[in-house]
């Protein structure tokens, strides 16, 4: 094992065991994992439809590249949205889709 003495092998093996045990405790008991914290924070984050770029709008569920481009083009041609319901004027935004993303957007 990389030309280690028997004592060094025991030391390295002990460190590995401690690391694995710590990871086990972290995952089993704490359940405080960074992606989970990020997901909770992301739910509180809302996308401003009057300032968002097309790539930012694509982060919304059900909004692809074409629909995001249509939203930006509509906003450029008609000015900022005055209400969330005004988003329905964009071709491709149905009542169902708007209801699905309503909690994720703001003005």
Structure tokens at 1: 């094992």
pLDDT confidence of residue 43: 59
> Which pTM does this prediction carry?
0.57
Burial class (CB in 10 A: 0-12, 13-18, 19+), 91: exposed
Domains and CATH numbers, the chain: 6-42 (no CATH), 46-106 (1.10.150.320)
d(CA 12, CA 67): 55
d(CA 43, CA 57): 15
Q: Tens of pLDDT along 3-56?
A: 888 898 899 899 999 988 888 877 776 655 555 555 555 556 788 888 888 888
Instruction: Kindly report each contact of residues 88-92 with a partner whose C-beta sits within 8 Å and lies 24 or more positions away, as own/partner.
Output: 92/66, 92/67
């Amino acid at each position: 094992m990389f030309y280690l003495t028997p004592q060094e092998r025991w030391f390295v093996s002990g460190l590995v065991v401690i690391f694995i045990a710590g990871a086990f405790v972290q995952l089993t008991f704490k359940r405080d994992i960074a992606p989970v914290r990020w997901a909770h924070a992301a739910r509180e984050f809302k996308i401003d439809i009057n300032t968002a770029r097309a790539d930012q709008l694509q982060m919304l569920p059900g909004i692809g590249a074409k629909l995001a481009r249509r939203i930006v083009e509509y906003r450029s041609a008609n000015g900022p949205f005055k209400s969330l319901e005004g988003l329905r004027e964009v071709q491709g935004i149905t009542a169902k889709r708007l209801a699905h993303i309503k909690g994720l957007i703001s003005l």
